Amino acid sequence: MVEWIVSEGLTDYADALARMEARAEAIATGSAEEAIWLLEHPPLYTAGTSAQPQDLVDADRFPVHQTRRGGQYTYHGPGQRVAYVMLNVGQRGKDVRQFVKHLESWVIATLAEFNLRGEIRQGRVGVWVPRPDKPLGLDGAPQEDKIAAIGIRLRRWVSFHGISINVEPDLSHFDGIVPCGIREHGVTSLVDLGLPVSMADLDLALMKSFESIFGDRPMQAAHSAP
């Protein structure tokens, strides 16, 4: 069974990273259970291993943290649920691509709990929602907005970092970066799409859909930190 941990308020990013790495190491040595850590951060930008300097549009807007997860620039802040995923991929088939697909499917299944269809796109990381309510793009194609980001790192076959889903963040905060290096599409949130979803609602949906995708029954969530 996977331990679920929920932190109230805003969690400092550097502190979260240290705790996450320590928990991942403990999982690798067999001294701790796998865990999903749900939290929110104060406004900040993170740069993954593929981040391009030109995609940091406003370097002075919020703190910028260099990370060793995959991906490019992303934003974290209040109103966005971050789920740090500390799972033993070595005991789950040692298939990193399949693991990422499971993360994508987990997000999509979670959004489906609110009757929202999330989709993935070849060559674009994350989960997207079509926006038929918006004008067609310059190329005549329907517009799409990103609602969730995915970026992980593995050490000794244990994952850390994870996913983020926009519940009700200030979407203007994404303007300081080119999210995931994609300029032609925007970002959205559950509330922006007209869905009055609370963070607690999303947490319940994440726990329910996790079991359907990963096959693990979540342990009762503890309100603490790893």
- The annotated binding site for substrate is made up of 69-76, 149-151, 162-164
Which of 200, 203, 173 is closest to 187 using CA atoms? 173
CA distance 189 to 159: 26
Question: What's the length of the chain?
Answer: 226
Which of 159, 164, 160, 169 is closest to 149 using CA atoms? 164
Q: Which residues are tagged catalytic?
A: 180
User: Annotated binding site: which residue ranges?
Assistant: 69-76, 149-151, 162-164
CB atoms within 10 A of CB 218: 16
Q: Which long-range contacts link 48-52 to residues 24+ away (Cβ below 8 Å)?
A: 48/72, 48/73, 48/74, 48/151, 50/181, 51/181, 52/181
